[in-house]
């Protein structure tokens, strides 16, 4: 098999198990770069062929040098930017599944907002200064951090205090939309030029999801600790699909001809009048897809076999190898 000449590698965090299980199911060799204190955990999984230990993920550039002579393909996930930083991701020289140019638009919330608006996507209002702000609002730091650096604010005094937390950090002030949070997982193939809805979830966040059980007042926290599955009513699916199409198409005009491809997620709020607001975009695999290692109700409609997002990535790489089009999907 041509596949087993290549090794799919990722950091031991976030969605690594799903990615590597999917890679092994598609016939690839697998490698995880894991923290030394977590090696015993990853050793239990037979689909992981090789484990490289590090004290911290910041050691990745040194590990990368050791892996250069192997046919490695790196699959990024949320922990890459969180632990390696934007510059670390861009400096990576190993073949990387995805378009690194999209990273700027995922990290920079102003660029991200412009992208969504130009795509014709409904988004919450953003405020530039305290005086014009209509409450409630949520303050968000730049970059992917699993809900860290988010603050819900109800008045001007509280907003002034919360802004001090950011100091030199970049942030946005965004209208707080009341409704049902829904995270839609997509996959866009540059080989077939087709978009797929893979699955959906909602996040369990501390302590905002426990406030109803707390008998005293606390500041809500949005740190993600888990996920639960959801399906969307079918009458709303066409709009969800169209939003994904619009985002991909605009990325090809705004970012680069290659645009956004592979897995991505639109983080939405659905209001009581069934209106979608897209609050963020994650331009890579999200942890909510871990719910669907054996597939979702939506992938069941598209495939006659278990298809996780991790396996769908590996399938795309396998097809690209067969068609001699790896350069089309690697950066």
- Domain extent at residue 133: 126-175
d(CA 96, CA 98): 6
Residue 42 shares a structural domain with residue 77: yes
pLDDT digits (tens, 9 = 90+) for 242-278: 999 999 999 999 999 999 999 999 999 999 999 999 9
Residue 193 shares a structural domain with residue 262: yes
Task: Give the model's pLDDT for residue 42.
Answer: 98
88 burial level (CB within 10 Å; 0-12, 13-18, 19+):
middle
Q: Which of 294, 321, 322 is nearest to 309 (CA)?
A: 294
Instruction: Please state the domain count of the chain.
Output: 3
Residue 131 shares a structural domain with residue 182: no
Residue 258 shares a structural domain with residue 269: yes
Task: Give the model's pLDDT for residue 148.
Answer: 64
Which tokens hold the place of 173? 């002030």
Residue 219 shares a structural domain with residue 132: no
d(CA 283, CA 261): 8
Which CATH number do you get for residue 139?
A: 3.30.1490.20
Which tokens hold the place of 98? 């995805």
Residue 281 shares a structural domain with residue 320: yes
Helix axes 309-322, 16-25, angle to 10 degrees: 40
Residue 222 shares a structural domain with residue 267: yes
Residue 248 shares a structural domain with residue 309: yes
Residue pair 22/46 in contact by the 8 Å Cβ criterion: no
Residue 295 shares a structural domain with residue 305: yes
Low-confidence ranges of the chain (pLDDT < 70): 1-2, 143-149, 206-222
What's the chain's length in residues? 331
Against a cut of 0.85, is the pTM above it?
A: yes
């Amino acid at each position: 098999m041509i596949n087993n000449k290549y090794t799919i590698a990722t950091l031991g965090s976030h969605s690594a198990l799903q990615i590597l299980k999917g890679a092994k199911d598609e016939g690839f060799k697998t490698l995880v770069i894991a923290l030394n204190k977590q090696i015993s955990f990853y050793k239990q999984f037979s689909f992981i062929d090789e484990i490289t230990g590090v004290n911290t993920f910041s050691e990745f550039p040194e590990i990368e040098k050791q892996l250069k002579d192997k046919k490695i393909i790196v699959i990024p996930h949320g922990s890459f930017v969180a632990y390696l930083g934007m510059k670390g991701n861009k400096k990576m020289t190993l073949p990387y599944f995805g378009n690194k140019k999209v990273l700027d638009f995922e990290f920079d919330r102003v660029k991200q907002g412009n992208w969504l608006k130009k795509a014709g996507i409904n988004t919450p209002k953003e405020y530039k200064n305290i005086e014009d702000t209509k409450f409630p609002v949520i303050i968000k730091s730049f970059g992917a951090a699993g809900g860290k650096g988010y603050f819900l604010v109800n008045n001007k005094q509280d907003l002034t205090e919360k802004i001090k937390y950011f100091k030199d950090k970049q942030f946005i002030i965004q209208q707080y939309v009341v409704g049902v949070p829904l995270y839609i997982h997509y996959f866009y193939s540059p080989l077939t030029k087709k978009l797929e809805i893979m699955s959906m979830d909602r996040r369990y966040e501390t302590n905002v999801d426990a406030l109803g059980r707390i008998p005293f007042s606390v500041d809500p926290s949005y740190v993600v600790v888990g996920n639960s599955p959801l399906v969307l009513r079918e009458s709303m699916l066409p709009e969800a699909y169209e939003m994904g199409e619009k985002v991909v198409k605009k990325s090809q005009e705004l970012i680069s001809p290659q645009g956004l491809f592979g897995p991505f997620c639109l983080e939405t709020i659905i209001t009581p009048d069934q209106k979608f607001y897209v609050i963020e975009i994650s331009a890579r695999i999200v942890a909510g897809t871990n719910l669907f290692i054996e597939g979702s109700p939506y992938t069941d409609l598209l495939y006659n076999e278990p298809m996780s997002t991790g396996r769908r990535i590996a399938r795309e790489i396998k097809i690209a190898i067969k068609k001699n089009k790896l350069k089309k999907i690697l950066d």
